[in-house]
Structure 1
Amino acid sequence: MQNSFVKKIILSALLSGVFFYGYAQEQPGKVPEPMPMKPQMTEFWEPEPKVVTPGAVPSNLVVPPPSDAIVLFDGKDLSKWKGKDGEAKWRVSDGVFTVNKGTGDIETKQTFEDYQLHIEWRIPADIQGESQARGNSGIFMQGIYELQVLDSYNNRTYSNGQAGSIYKQTRPLVNAMRKPGEWQVYDVIYTAPRFKEDGSLFSPAYITVMHNGVLIQNHFEIKGDTPYIGLPKYTKHGKGPIKLQDHGDPSKPISFRNIWLREL
């Protein structure tokens, strides 16, 4: 996985080098402008993660949180979340909340550093669309580092953009998706980055993810933030929230339930 990330950087450098050479030939004596990056430069389609069928679980089964957990959604309201204008405006019904398209991302009022996170999400059974336009959302660690949410059940997209990827950085080890309409479960172990006083990186963030009980990220070293265009980088920060993305996907919206966190 890291080799794939390095290959992307080398490819970008080679492409830039070709541009620089051509520019210098046409404009002798002038300093060449850097080549503008495009989204496709940080997308890779191969290798495609192997499909692993997770064990069957009754859809109404909700495992209660441990005694020391911070319950972020108890099925009743979004009182522990906020939106872009203050109030979290996603819809709550029958113990579940659903993306309210156009109202923006929501994030926890409380901020965190290192933690264990449990979160369950569901793609509508009658989902339409393909590739990235198929139930797209994201879970952002500390509001910055994205764990991708997407319908990747018989839905091909770039490997470092499918469900369970650290978006635009690494693919999941395997594809452990259940069918649309069934609940998906992420269990995350996250270690926040640390920074020196001068703002430089002291130690990177790390993430381990289980998807439906299957290991899909194994202590992966996060390379930086989550740009759609360009390469990730770190900027000094402190504690941050759990953020859920309103992607503005034209397909039917995603739902969430049973969200809790244990600080480590």
Structure 2
Amino acid sequence: MKTLMKHVIILACLFYIGIASAQQKDIKLPPEATEFWEPVPRKVTPGTANHLAPDDAIVLFDGSDLSHFESVRDGSPAKWTLANGAMTVAPRTGDIRTKQSFGDMQLHIEWSSPTEIKGEGQGRGNSGVIIMGLYEIQVLDSYESRTYSNGQAASVYKQYPPLVNAMKKPGEWNSYDIFFTAPRFNQDGMLTAPAKVTVVHNGVLVQNAVELKGPTEYIGIPNYKAHESKLPFVLQDHGDLVSFRNIWVREL
């Protein structure tokens, strides 16, 4: 594990030095410039767990309605479909977000990729849990489909690959337990402490208190900008029929 992380850190440093140099020269970068494919997180077989919400949790989705969510596009009621205790992305209706805002939190969320397999890599069961609408934990069918390591399921998208690949088969339910510490800014808008996140995927630790480099960027390197201490989190409509259930938060 230590060897893997050492290699990841070295590659990431070289990776971002090169990108920063290119950006200083005002060179336009393709999205592939922030992807790395090695090392590949090894696969593990996840265990099973009971994910009932504790009594101090804020239950945002129990399968009965979408009343705690709204459209990111215009603030209207969430338009995703509801069936069998789960919500499913309705493609092209847009991302949805929580009506309530959160800062430091423990977030539990379960998700399932489509049983009908279409595409490969980023085109297969793609969605995301975007904390504060800025910091994305990737949702993707990475069970037997290769993509860039810092873009597979349970990655901090385009920043950190998961320590291991703990994916379940398409159609089975995955769980994320996300422990998030929001970034801190002073009164002048300067960053005083970066955001941190720990992610447990199907009971397996895959992100261990990593420091986020800034908000998620598809192209280029991330940079912090001051924002509110609490913001809604977002579930992404990437055009795939990804389902979610059993969503709850404990504010920390």
Equivalent of 2:9, from 2, 5, 11? 2
Could you list the per-position Cα deviations for residues 165-200 of structure 1 after superposition, in whole angstroms to 9, with x for gaps in the alignment? Answer: 000001000000000010000001100000011111
Question: Equivalent residue of 1:41, what SS?
Answer: helix
Post-superposition shift, 1:248? 2.3
Aligned to 1:154: 144
| Structure 1 stretch displaced more, 33-42 or 174-183 | 33-42
Matched, 1:217 2:232: no
What displacement does 1:38 show?
A: 1.2
SS in 2 for 1:174: coil
Tell me by how many angstroms 1:9 deviates: 1.5
* CA distance in structure 1 between the aligned counterparts of 2:34 and 2:165, rounded to whole angstroms: 20
1:88 counterpart (67, 74, 78): 78
Alpha carbons 1:2, 1:170 under 8 Å: kept: no
For 2:31 and 2:201, locate their aligned partners in 1 and report how far apart those are by CA, in whole Å: 26
- Residues 254, 233 of structure 1: alpha-carbon distance in 2 compared, 3 angstrom cutoff: same
Is contact 2:89–2:239 with CA below 8 Å preserved after alignment?
Answer: no
- Of the three residues 244, 253, 258, the one matched with 2:235 is 244
Of residues 63, 66, 82 in structure 2, which corresponds to 1:75? 63
Aligned length: 242
Match of 2:68, as an amino acid? Answer: K
Structure 2: gaps (5+ residues): 1-7
Deviates more, 1:167-176 or 1:48-57: 48-57
Does residue 1:140 correspond to 2:130, yes or no?
yes
TM-score (norm 1): 0.88
Q: Shift of residue 13 of structure 1?
A: 4.8
Distance (Å, rounded) in 2 between the aligned partners of 1:122 and 1:222 = 26
Provide the rounded CA distance (Å) in 2 between the counterparts of 1:245 and 1:123: 13
Counterpart of 2:5 in structure 1 is none
Aligned to 1:24: none
Return the alpha-carbon distance in structure 2 between the equivalents of residues 165 and 178 of structure 1: 15
Determine the structure 2 residue equivalent to 1:44.
Answer: 36
CA RMSD of aligned residues (A): 1.5
Identity of aligned residues (%): 57
Q: Output the amino acid matched with 2:42.
A: K
Specify the alignment match of 1:23 in structure 2. Answer: none
Match of 1:201 in 2: 191
Measure how far apart 1:11 and its partner are: 2.5
Contact 1:117/1:261 (<8 A) preserved = yes
Q: Report SS of the residue matched to 1:175.
A: coil
Q: CA–CA distance in 2 between the matches of 1:193 and 1:6?
A: 21
SS of alignment partner, residue 256 of structure 1: strand
Quick one: structure 1 residues 82 and 235, their matched pair in 2 at CA, closer, same or farther if it must change by over 3 Å?
same
1:237-259 deviation digits (Å, cap 9, x = unpaired): 1111110000124xxx1000000
Deviations 1:182-238 (A, max 9, x none): 000000110000001111101000000000000000000011011111111111111
Cα distance in structure 2, aligned partners of 1:153 and 1:119: 18
